[in-house]
Amino acid sequence: MLRERGQREVFCGLTGIVWLHRKIQDAFFLVVGSRTCAHLIQSAAGVMIFAEPRFATAIIEERDLAGLADMNEELDRVVDQLLARRPDIRLLFLVGSCPSEVIKLDLGRAAARLSLRHRPAVRILSYSGSGIETTFTQGEDACLAALVPELPREEGKSLLVVGSLAEVVEDQFRRIFADLEIGPVRFLPPRRAEDLPPVGPETSFLLAQPFLGETARTLEERGATRLEAPFPLGAEGTTGWLAAAAAAWRIEPDRFRDVISPCRERSRNALARYRAELAGKRVFFFPDSQLEVPLARFLSSELGMELVEVGTPYLHRRHLAEELALLPPGTLLSEGQHVERQLDRCRAARPDITVCGLGLANPLEAEGLTTKWSIELVFTPIHGYEQAADLAGLFARPLRRREALSGMPM
């Protein structure tokens, strides 16, 4: 295990708004930040002109930074205007940024103050999406952790799946849990702010994403219990993840096998053709999405790829224990980043494919290395049995493209 501290090349937590605003359909994300933040969000979301967007930036101007304006008054005015114009908003997140943190604007207090004015029609919460010492998936963690204290209390037994999943994936999991007679099953985040899932001492939760450390901690504070499991990536990861819920509900092993086997077999068969293509290929992960460890496990154990280095921004040892146990012995793990040193290691190793952020992908491609953008793995449905082959395809495609290009006359 290599621990590195140095310059990092990652997006900030504002990026999470790109998928969260599509997920919670009556929520609105108001970034309190600079023009840079506004540009990031607009270009990352790919939306410049949109009839009714569900995110915006309240720009901190220079006179605000110089302390010439009362920021809180201005923020209240912007929020009042927004909510008057958009009565469909049920949940408003004030999202902090680097500039709002630097000037120490207390968005938690602002959210509490504004809530008094706008409840019960609108719930107003805050979290930080700042890029200071964080990576981009922590935006979702901070957002969900802000929601946890708002969840209603429940006394009965239930399963909570935690982490944004594509709706098609949620529906597949819902069907499998129903076939296993596990339930009630709920999802965080919900599709609508009005459907916040209840939580209590009898709630068991499964993390669907490995970057939700703070959310898990706040759920545990509410008395819920995390089920120890690998993450539902690939046929085997998904089986292990479902098995954790089945064990908690004391489902008979035969019954579990009967329900799971057809999906698992279909998934394995779909993966077989990618295995032929990817086995023996060497992969190098730069730290970015925090999905690196489960992905590395999937690529090595289900597709036979070789792991050159598995870099991750943070290694949550407890949440990743099952994944780490499934990595080949001797896998080089690195936590944190010193980008120059890591680039040197990558160039020296000449992996077949390098998983990294957008900032590194272009220069590495120019040096003849094949890359995969890690952010794409967060935007694409990759969880569960039916998506396992799509996930493998995301790694096969750049290799095919490189091969096709190398055969072309220059």
- Going by the annotation, the residues of the binding site are 12, 37, 98
Binding residues for [4Fe-4S] cluster: 12, 37, 98
* Residues in CB range of 152: below 8 A, 6 or more apart: 196, 198, 199
Judged by CB under 6 A, does residue 32 bind ligand SF4?
Answer: no
**H or E element in which residue 96 lies:** strand 91-96
Considering only the stretches 33-41, 76-84, 263-271, 305-313, report the one whose residues sit in contact with ligand SF4 under the rule CB under 6 A. Answer: 33-41
> C-beta of 146: minimal distance to ligand SF4 in Å?
16
Angle at 369 between CA 366 and CA 370, to 5 degrees: 110
Choose between 34 and 300: whose C-beta lies nearer to ligand SF4: 34
- The piece of 32-40, 171-179, 336-344, 381-389 that touches ligand SF4 (CB under 6 A) is 32-40
- What stretches of 132-212 show up as alpha helix (H) in DSSP? 138-147, 167-180
Closer of 98 and 391 to ligand SF4 (Cβ): 98
**Angle ∠(147,148,153) on CA atoms, nearest 5:** 125
Q: Locate the DSSP E strands across 153-259.
A: 158-162, 185-188, 203-207, 225-226
The dihedral over CA atoms of 90, 91, 94, 95, expressed in degrees to the nearest 10, equals -130
Contacting ligand SF4 within 129-148 (CB under 6 A): 129-131
Buried residues in 24-35 as b, exposed as e (16+ CB within 10 A): bebbbbbbbbbe
Find the binder of ligand SF4 among 24, 34, 160, 283 (CB under 6 A): 34
Q: Which of 37, 144, 193, 375 binds ligand SF4 (CB under 6 A)?
A: 37
Q: Which is nearer to ligand SF4, 132 or 168 (CB)?
A: 132
| 398 interacts with ligand SF4 by CB under 6 A | no
Nearer to ligand SF4 (CB atom), residue 14 or residue 303:
14
Closest alpha carbon to 243 in 229, 254, 264: 229
Please report whether residue 33 would count as binding ligand SF4 according to CB under 6 A: yes
190 lies in the binding site for ligand SF4 (CB under 6 A): no
Tokens of 383: 């969880």
> With CB under 6 A as the contact rule, which of the stretches 106-114, 124-132, 196-204, 292-300 interacts with ligand SF4?
124-132
- Omega before residue 189 within 30° of 0, cis: yes
Q: How far apart are CA 27 and CA 167, in angstroms?
A: 17
Which CB, 92 or 142, lies closer to ligand SF4? Answer: 142
The correct pick among 12, 45, 144, 327 for binding ligand SF4 (CB under 6 A) is 12
392, 49, 112: which is closest to 237 by C-alpha? 392
169 Cβ contact list (under 8 Å, min separation 6): 381, 383, 384, 386, 387
Residue 213: CB minimum distance to ligand SF4, A? 20
Q: Which residues pair with 160 in a beta bridge?
A: 186, 205
40 counts as binding ligand SF4 under rule CB under 6 A: yes
Q: Is residue 4 within 8 Å of residue 342, measured between CB atoms?
A: yes
Determine, following the binding rule CB under 6 A, whether residue 375 of this chain makes contact with ligand SF4: no
Q: Which residue, 133 or 252, is less far from ligand SF4 as judged by CB?
A: 133
Query: Minimal distance in Å, beta carbon 100 to ligand SF4?
Result: 8
Task: Output the smallest distance, CB 211 to ligand SF4, in A.
Answer: 17
Quote the least distance from Cβ 41 to ligand SF4, whole Å.
Answer: 8
Site string for ligand SF4, 69-98 (x = CB under 6 A): ----------------------------xx
Task: Please identify, using beta-carbon distances, which residue of 19 and 298 lies nearer to ligand SF4.
Answer: 19
Smallest distance from ligand SF4 to CB 36, Å: 5
| Nearest residue (CB) to ligand SF4, 36 versus 331 | 36
Is residue 235 a contact residue for ligand SF4 (CB under 6 A)?
no
Question: Do 384 and 172 meet the contact criterion of CB atoms below 8 Å apart?
Answer: yes
Are 287 and 311 in contact by the 8 Å Cβ rule? The answer is yes
**Polymer length of the chain:** 410
CB-nearer residue toward ligand SF4: 46 or 120: 46
Beta-sheet pairing, 203-207 with 185-188: unpaired
**Cβ-closest position to ligand SF4:** 131
* Rounded (10°) CA dihedral 32, 35, 41, 44: -160
Residues in the site for ligand SF4, rule: CB under 6 A? Answer: 12, 14, 33-34, 36-37, 40, 97-98, 129-131
